[in-house]
Amino acid sequence: MHALALPASATLGPIAPSRFAGKRIVVVEDDAMAAAAIKLSLETQGMQVILFVSAEDALGSAEAIGADYYLCDYRLPGLDGLQFLDAIQRLSAAPIKAVLVTGDVSPDQIAIMQAFRWKVLFKPIDLCQLLSAIEAHEARIEPLAASK
């Protein structure tokens, strides 16, 4: 199952300028097909995608620190996505901008995830849904950025 569905319209014609162009996003996803779909989709927005298959790999890399955004699968081998984001937040002087994704849609899991400090999206997600979640999170952190 793909974690991100690229809308057909996004594959046609030239890519429109995006407010995400040039932004660095760290993606932690252990499913190779989902990771490839996410990477391709975000790159269509001009983002620089830094991909990791585990939270431990990401935490061991200097590239993971100081990214503009973080996108992390909740269920990972070893540290889960929430633990990863908490660790990155502890290393960061400012609030990080992050989105968790998960395929677990059980009522118990949904209830637990509502208490998380980061936005949670349920798989499969599409590019518009993901970008909206990032923008909404960014607006909460930097309300003046939206007025530029």
Q: Which residue has the higher pLDDT, 109 or 12?
A: 109
pLDDT tier for residue 3 given thresholds of 50, 70 and 90? very low
119, 136 contact by CB (below 8 A):
yes
Burial (CB count <10 Å: 0-12, 13-18, 19+), residue 93? exposed
**Strands 69-73 vs 98-102: parallel, antiparallel or unpaired:** parallel
pTM above 0.75, yes or no: yes
pLDDT tens, residue by residue, 50-104: 999 999 999 999 999 999 999 999 999 999 999 999 999 999 989 999 999 988 7
List, for residues 30-44, the tens digit of each pLDDT value: 999 999 999 999 999
Domains and CATH numbers, the chain: 20-147 (3.40.50.2300)
| Whole-number percent of the chain with pLDDT over 90 | 55
Residue 24 pLDDT greater than 90, yes or no: yes
- Is the previous residue joined to 124 through a cis bond, with omega within 30 degrees of 0? yes
Higher pLDDT pick, 19 / 9: 19
What pLDDT is stored for residue 124 in this prediction? 86
Residues 51, 62: Cα–Cα separation, whole Å:
13
